Structure 1
Amino acid sequence: MMLNKALECSTAYLLLGGNLGDREGNLKRAIALLEEKTGKVISVSSLYETAAWGKTDQPAFLNQAIALKTGLSALQVLDHALNIEQELGRVRKDKWGERLIDIDLILFGDEIINISNKLQVPHPHMQYRKFVMEPLAEIAPDVLHPVLGETILAISRNIEDPLEVKKLIT
Protein backbone atom coordinates (compact mmCIF):
# COMPACT_ATOMS: atom_id res chain seq x y z
CA MET A 1 0.00 0.00 0.00
CA MET A 2 1.38 3.43 -0.96
CA LEU A 3 1.33 6.20 1.60
CA ASN A 4 0.07 9.59 0.64
CA LYS A 5 3.24 11.69 0.20
CA ALA A 6 1.54 14.75 1.70
CA LEU A 7 1.05 12.87 4.98
CA GLU A 8 4.81 12.36 5.23
CA CYS A 9 5.60 16.07 4.99
CA SER A 10 5.96 18.59 7.78
CA THR A 11 5.90 22.35 7.61
CA ALA A 12 9.11 23.95 8.80
CA TYR A 13 9.26 27.66 9.61
CA LEU A 14 12.67 29.26 9.34
CA LEU A 15 14.00 32.75 9.94
CA LEU A 16 16.75 34.00 7.69
CA GLY A 17 18.86 37.03 8.40
CA GLY A 18 22.10 38.76 7.63
CA ASN A 19 23.82 42.09 8.00
CA LEU A 20 26.91 41.84 5.80
CA GLY A 21 27.43 42.04 2.05
CA ASP A 22 24.46 41.90 -0.30
CA ARG A 23 21.91 41.25 2.44
CA GLU A 24 18.90 40.79 0.16
CA GLY A 25 20.88 38.72 -2.35
CA ASN A 26 22.15 36.45 0.42
CA LEU A 27 18.60 35.82 1.62
CA LYS A 28 17.46 35.01 -1.94
CA ARG A 29 20.36 32.58 -2.43
CA ALA A 30 19.64 30.91 0.90
CA ILE A 31 15.96 30.46 0.01
CA ALA A 32 16.88 28.97 -3.38
CA LEU A 33 19.31 26.52 -1.75
CA LEU A 34 16.80 25.58 0.95
CA GLU A 35 14.25 24.77 -1.74
CA GLU A 36 16.81 22.81 -3.74
CA LYS A 37 18.06 20.75 -0.79
CA THR A 38 15.41 20.75 1.93
CA GLY A 39 11.84 21.11 0.71
CA LYS A 40 9.31 23.16 -1.23
CA VAL A 41 9.10 26.78 -0.13
CA ILE A 42 5.40 27.52 0.28
CA SER A 43 5.50 31.01 1.79
CA VAL A 44 7.99 33.88 2.07
CA SER A 45 7.51 36.99 4.21
CA SER A 46 8.40 40.52 3.29
CA LEU A 47 11.87 41.78 4.17
CA TYR A 48 12.25 43.37 7.59
CA GLU A 49 15.12 45.56 8.77
CA THR A 50 16.13 45.65 12.43
CA ALA A 51 18.99 47.10 14.41
CA ALA A 52 21.35 44.40 15.64
CA TRP A 53 20.14 42.51 18.71
CA GLY A 54 22.44 41.35 21.51
CA LYS A 55 25.61 42.91 20.09
CA THR A 56 24.55 46.33 18.91
CA ASP A 57 27.76 47.79 17.42
CA GLN A 58 27.17 46.36 13.95
CA PRO A 59 25.10 47.03 10.82
CA ALA A 60 21.32 46.50 10.76
CA PHE A 61 19.98 43.09 9.84
CA LEU A 62 17.57 42.10 7.10
CA ASN A 63 15.28 39.27 8.18
CA GLN A 64 12.76 37.14 6.35
CA ALA A 65 10.62 34.19 7.43
CA ILE A 66 9.84 31.26 5.18
CA ALA A 67 7.66 28.18 5.40
CA LEU A 68 8.61 25.02 3.58
CA LYS A 69 7.11 21.57 3.20
CA THR A 70 9.66 18.86 3.79
CA GLY A 71 9.89 15.11 4.14
CA LEU A 72 13.03 15.55 6.25
CA SER A 73 13.27 15.48 10.03
CA ALA A 74 13.83 18.68 11.99
CA LEU A 75 17.43 17.65 12.64
CA GLN A 76 18.00 17.06 8.91
CA VAL A 77 16.51 20.50 8.12
CA LEU A 78 18.85 22.06 10.67
CA ASP A 79 21.85 20.24 9.19
CA HIS A 80 20.93 21.46 5.69
CA ALA A 81 20.52 25.01 7.01
CA LEU A 82 23.95 24.95 8.67
CA ASN A 83 25.54 23.55 5.50
CA ILE A 84 23.87 26.27 3.40
CA GLU A 85 25.15 28.95 5.79
CA GLN A 86 28.66 27.58 5.32
CA GLU A 87 28.24 27.29 1.55
CA LEU A 88 27.23 30.96 1.41
CA GLY A 89 30.31 32.00 3.37
CA ARG A 90 29.15 32.26 6.97
CA VAL A 91 31.99 32.32 9.47
CA ARG A 92 31.01 31.85 13.12
CA LYS A 93 33.09 34.16 15.30
CA ASP A 94 31.04 35.97 17.93
CA LYS A 95 27.69 35.05 19.43
CA TRP A 96 25.20 37.55 17.99
CA GLY A 97 27.97 38.90 15.76
CA GLU A 98 27.95 40.10 12.17
CA ARG A 99 27.11 37.50 9.56
CA LEU A 100 26.49 37.09 5.86
CA ILE A 101 23.64 34.68 6.53
CA ASP A 102 21.88 33.10 9.48
CA ILE A 103 19.21 30.42 9.14
CA ASP A 104 17.28 29.42 12.25
CA LEU A 105 14.67 26.67 12.50
CA ILE A 106 11.86 28.35 14.46
CA LEU A 107 8.99 25.85 14.30
CA PHE A 108 8.62 22.34 12.89
CA GLY A 109 4.95 21.48 12.59
CA ASP A 110 3.59 21.18 16.10
CA GLU A 111 6.64 19.30 17.37
CA ILE A 112 8.47 20.06 20.59
CA ILE A 113 12.11 19.01 20.27
CA ASN A 114 14.95 19.42 22.74
CA ILE A 115 18.24 17.83 21.74
CA SER A 116 20.59 19.52 24.24
CA ASN A 117 22.43 22.42 22.58
CA LYS A 118 21.96 21.03 19.04
CA LEU A 119 18.28 21.73 18.43
CA GLN A 120 15.40 23.28 20.34
CA VAL A 121 12.04 23.64 18.61
CA PRO A 122 10.13 25.83 19.03
CA HIS A 123 13.05 28.22 19.11
CA PRO A 124 13.33 29.01 22.83
CA HIS A 125 13.58 32.81 22.42
CA MET A 126 11.25 33.41 19.49
CA GLN A 127 8.43 34.88 21.58
CA TYR A 128 10.73 37.62 22.93
CA ARG A 129 12.05 38.92 19.61
CA LYS A 130 10.09 41.16 17.25
CA PHE A 131 12.52 40.49 14.40
CA VAL A 132 11.41 36.84 14.54
CA MET A 133 7.74 37.23 15.31
CA GLU A 134 6.76 40.00 12.89
CA PRO A 135 7.90 38.22 9.71
CA LEU A 136 6.59 34.91 11.07
CA ALA A 137 3.20 36.45 11.89
CA GLU A 138 2.98 37.67 8.29
CA ILE A 139 3.16 34.12 6.87
CA ALA A 140 1.78 32.04 9.78
CA PRO A 141 -0.60 34.21 11.84
CA ASP A 142 -2.90 31.35 12.86
CA VAL A 143 -0.22 28.75 13.62
CA LEU A 144 -0.22 27.75 17.28
CA HIS A 145 2.98 27.87 19.30
CA PRO A 146 3.14 24.25 20.53
CA VAL A 147 4.32 25.19 24.03
CA LEU A 148 2.50 28.49 24.68
CA GLY A 149 -0.75 27.45 22.98
CA GLU A 150 -1.23 30.91 21.46
CA THR A 151 -1.24 31.93 17.82
CA ILE A 152 1.85 33.49 16.30
CA LEU A 153 -0.14 36.68 15.64
CA ALA A 154 -1.28 36.95 19.28
CA ILE A 155 2.26 36.42 20.54
CA SER A 156 3.66 38.99 18.09
CA ARG A 157 1.20 41.62 19.34
CA ASN A 158 2.32 41.21 22.96
CA ILE A 159 6.11 41.37 22.66
CA GLU A 160 7.87 43.94 24.81
CA ASP A 161 11.03 43.97 22.66
CA PRO A 162 12.04 47.65 22.24
CA LEU A 163 13.84 47.16 18.91
CA GLU A 164 12.04 48.71 15.97
CA VAL A 165 11.33 46.26 13.18
CA LYS A 166 10.73 48.01 9.86
CA LYS A 167 8.89 46.20 7.05
CA LEU A 168 10.55 47.10 3.75
CA ILE A 169 8.60 47.80 0.59
CA THR A 170 10.35 46.00 -2.27
Structure 2
Amino acid sequence: MISVYIGMGSNLDGPVAQLEQAILTLTNHTELHNIAVSPIYSSKPVGPQDQPDYANAVMRLDTKLSAIALLDLLQSVEQEQRRVRDRHWGPRTLDLDILLYGDELIDTPRLSVPHPYMLERGFVIQPLNDLSPELMLANGRRVQEHLSQLDTSDLVIIKEV
Protein backbone atom coordinates (compact mmCIF):
# COMPACT_ATOMS: atom_id res chain seq x y z
CA MET A 1 0.00 0.00 0.00
CA ILE A 2 1.10 3.54 -0.79
CA SER A 3 0.04 6.49 1.37
CA VAL A 4 -1.35 9.27 -0.79
CA TYR A 5 -2.51 12.83 -0.12
CA ILE A 6 -5.12 14.40 -2.38
CA GLY A 7 -5.86 18.13 -2.54
CA MET A 8 -9.56 18.87 -3.00
CA GLY A 9 -11.13 22.13 -4.13
CA SER A 10 -14.40 23.54 -5.45
CA ASN A 11 -15.97 26.94 -5.95
CA LEU A 12 -19.06 26.22 -8.08
CA ASP A 13 -22.46 24.59 -7.60
CA GLY A 14 -22.36 24.22 -3.80
CA PRO A 15 -18.63 23.82 -3.12
CA VAL A 16 -18.99 22.07 0.25
CA ALA A 17 -21.54 19.65 -1.22
CA GLN A 18 -19.19 19.03 -4.17
CA LEU A 19 -16.37 18.09 -1.78
CA GLU A 20 -18.69 15.93 0.32
CA GLN A 21 -19.84 14.04 -2.79
CA ALA A 22 -16.23 13.46 -3.88
CA ILE A 23 -15.34 12.26 -0.36
CA LEU A 24 -18.29 9.85 -0.42
CA THR A 25 -17.39 8.55 -3.88
CA LEU A 26 -13.74 8.00 -2.97
CA THR A 27 -14.58 6.50 0.43
CA ASN A 28 -16.79 3.92 -1.27
CA HIS A 29 -14.13 2.93 -3.83
CA THR A 30 -12.83 -0.60 -3.21
CA GLU A 31 -9.18 0.29 -4.03
CA LEU A 32 -8.93 3.14 -1.50
CA HIS A 33 -8.43 2.43 2.21
CA ASN A 34 -7.80 4.11 5.58
CA ILE A 35 -9.26 7.40 4.43
CA ALA A 36 -8.97 10.51 6.57
CA VAL A 37 -10.12 14.00 5.58
CA SER A 38 -9.10 17.38 6.97
CA PRO A 39 -11.64 20.05 7.84
CA ILE A 40 -13.00 21.97 4.85
CA TYR A 41 -11.63 25.50 4.60
CA SER A 42 -12.79 28.58 2.75
CA SER A 43 -10.04 30.33 0.77
CA LYS A 44 -9.58 33.08 -1.80
CA PRO A 45 -9.01 31.95 -5.39
CA VAL A 46 -5.53 31.66 -6.87
CA GLY A 47 -5.25 33.41 -10.22
CA PRO A 48 -8.27 35.28 -11.57
CA GLN A 49 -10.10 37.01 -8.73
CA ASP A 50 -13.39 37.30 -10.66
CA GLN A 51 -14.63 34.02 -9.22
CA PRO A 52 -16.15 32.80 -5.93
CA ASP A 53 -14.07 31.72 -2.93
CA TYR A 54 -13.07 28.07 -2.75
CA ALA A 55 -13.81 25.24 -0.38
CA ASN A 56 -10.60 23.22 0.12
CA ALA A 57 -9.60 20.08 2.00
CA VAL A 58 -6.98 17.34 1.91
CA MET A 59 -7.68 13.60 1.92
CA ARG A 60 -5.21 10.96 3.05
CA LEU A 61 -5.63 7.39 1.82
CA ASP A 62 -3.80 4.15 1.20
CA THR A 63 -3.97 2.38 -2.15
CA LYS A 64 -2.32 -0.20 -4.37
CA LEU A 65 -3.32 1.77 -7.48
CA SER A 66 -0.48 3.17 -9.54
CA ALA A 67 -0.17 6.95 -9.58
CA ILE A 68 -1.57 7.12 -13.13
CA ALA A 69 -4.45 4.77 -12.31
CA LEU A 70 -5.26 6.96 -9.29
CA LEU A 71 -5.06 10.08 -11.47
CA ASP A 72 -7.48 8.45 -13.93
CA LEU A 73 -9.86 7.66 -11.06
CA LEU A 74 -9.69 11.21 -9.70
CA GLN A 75 -10.31 12.70 -13.14
CA SER A 76 -13.32 10.41 -13.63
CA VAL A 77 -14.75 11.67 -10.32
CA GLU A 78 -14.17 15.25 -11.50
CA GLN A 79 -16.04 14.45 -14.73
CA GLU A 80 -18.92 12.83 -12.84
CA GLN A 81 -19.26 16.12 -10.99
CA ARG A 82 -19.26 18.13 -14.24
CA ARG A 83 -15.72 19.53 -14.12
CA VAL A 84 -15.14 21.92 -17.03
CA ARG A 85 -11.65 23.17 -17.89
CA ASP A 86 -12.40 26.57 -19.44
CA ARG A 87 -9.39 28.54 -18.24
CA HIS A 88 -6.23 28.04 -16.21
CA TRP A 89 -6.93 28.52 -12.49
CA GLY A 90 -10.54 29.30 -13.32
CA PRO A 91 -13.66 28.30 -11.40
CA ARG A 92 -14.53 24.63 -11.15
CA THR A 93 -17.05 22.26 -9.61
CA LEU A 94 -14.28 19.95 -8.44
CA ASP A 95 -10.50 19.79 -8.54
CA LEU A 96 -8.72 16.69 -7.22
CA ASP A 97 -4.91 16.82 -7.23
CA ILE A 98 -2.41 14.19 -6.14
CA LEU A 99 -0.20 16.13 -3.73
CA LEU A 100 1.99 13.26 -2.54
CA TYR A 101 2.21 9.65 -3.68
CA GLY A 102 4.25 7.96 -0.98
CA ASP A 103 7.71 9.44 -1.22
CA GLU A 104 7.84 9.07 -5.00
CA LEU A 105 9.01 11.86 -7.28
CA ILE A 106 7.00 11.83 -10.52
CA ASP A 107 7.51 14.20 -13.45
CA THR A 108 5.55 13.25 -16.55
CA PRO A 109 3.44 15.30 -18.96
CA ARG A 110 0.28 14.17 -17.11
CA LEU A 111 1.45 14.19 -13.51
CA SER A 112 3.95 15.99 -11.28
CA VAL A 113 4.36 14.75 -7.70
CA PRO A 114 4.91 16.29 -5.25
CA HIS A 115 2.39 18.81 -6.56
CA PRO A 116 4.50 21.69 -7.91
CA TYR A 117 2.64 24.50 -6.10
CA MET A 118 1.64 22.84 -2.84
CA LEU A 119 4.32 24.46 -0.67
CA GLU A 120 3.18 27.93 -1.75
CA ARG A 121 -0.48 27.42 -0.88
CA GLY A 122 -1.82 27.81 2.60
CA PHE A 123 -5.10 26.18 1.56
CA VAL A 124 -3.09 23.00 0.87
CA ILE A 125 -0.51 23.09 3.66
CA GLN A 126 -2.98 23.95 6.45
CA PRO A 127 -5.28 20.95 5.84
CA LEU A 128 -2.23 18.74 5.15
CA ASN A 129 -0.89 19.87 8.54
CA ASP A 130 -4.24 19.00 10.14
CA LEU A 131 -3.76 15.42 8.98
CA SER A 132 0.01 14.92 9.22
CA PRO A 133 2.04 17.77 10.76
CA GLU A 134 5.11 15.57 11.22
CA LEU A 135 5.10 14.27 7.65
CA MET A 136 8.58 14.66 6.14
CA LEU A 137 8.50 16.08 2.62
CA ALA A 138 10.94 15.48 -0.23
CA ASN A 139 12.87 18.66 0.65
CA GLY A 140 13.71 17.26 4.10
CA ARG A 141 11.33 19.55 5.98
CA ARG A 142 8.14 18.70 7.87
CA VAL A 143 4.71 19.96 6.87
CA GLN A 144 4.44 22.02 10.07
CA GLU A 145 7.66 23.86 9.18
CA HIS A 146 6.18 24.94 5.85
CA LEU A 147 2.93 25.99 7.52
CA SER A 148 4.79 28.36 9.84
CA GLN A 149 6.13 30.20 6.78
CA LEU A 150 2.79 30.79 5.07
CA ASP A 151 0.10 33.39 5.68
CA THR A 152 -3.05 31.41 6.39
CA SER A 153 -4.99 34.27 7.97
CA ASP A 154 -7.62 34.17 5.18
CA LEU A 155 -8.44 30.49 5.80
CA VAL A 156 -11.61 29.74 7.74
CA ILE A 157 -12.90 26.29 8.67
CA ILE A 158 -16.36 26.00 7.18
CA LYS A 159 -17.00 22.35 8.00
CA GLU A 160 -15.46 19.53 10.02
CA VAL A 161 -15.59 16.29 8.04
TM-score (norm 2): 0.93
Q: Where does residue 50 of structure 2 map in the other structure?
A: 57
Q: Unaligned 5+ residue runs, structure 1?
A: 1-8
Match of 2:60 among 67, 85, 106: 67
Matches within 5 A, 1:81-160: 81-115=74-108, 117-146=109-138, 148-159=139-150
What SS does structure 2 have at the residue aligned with 1:21?
Answer: coil
- Number of residue-to-residue matches in the alignment: 159
Q: CA offset at residue 163 of structure 1?
A: 7.1
Kindly indicate whether the alpha-carbon contact (under 8 Å) linking 2:123 and 2:152 is maintained by their aligned counterparts in 1: no
What SS does structure 1 have at the residue aligned with 2:28?
Answer: helix
Matches within 5 A, 1:39-50: 39-50=32-43
Q: CA offset at residue 36 of structure 1?
A: 3.0
After TM superposition, the structure 1 stretch with the greater mean CA deviation from structure 2, 27-36 or 102-111, is 27-36
Q: CA offset at residue 139 of structure 1?
A: 0.4
Report the aligned-residue RMSD.
1.5
Residue 16 (1) aligns with residue 26 (2): no
Larger Rg: 1
Kindly indicate whether the alpha-carbon contact (under 8 Å) linking 1:20 and 1:98 is maintained by their aligned counterparts in 2: yes
Q: CA offset at residue 132 of structure 1?
A: 0.8
Distance 2:152 2:62 in 1: 33
Q: Where does residue 5 of structure 1 map in the other structure?
A: none
Q: Unaligned 5+ residue runs, structure 2?
A: none
Amino acid at match of 2:36: S
Amino acid at match of 1:83: S
1:117-136 CA-to-partner distances (Å, cap 9, x unmatched) read 31010001110111111111
Q: Where does residue 70 of structure 2 map in the other structure?
A: 77
Matches within 5 A, 1:21-36: 21-36=13-28
TM-score (norm 1): 0.88
Distance 1:55 1:41 in 2: 36
Amino acid at match of 2:149: N
- In percent, how many aligned pairs have the same letter? 34
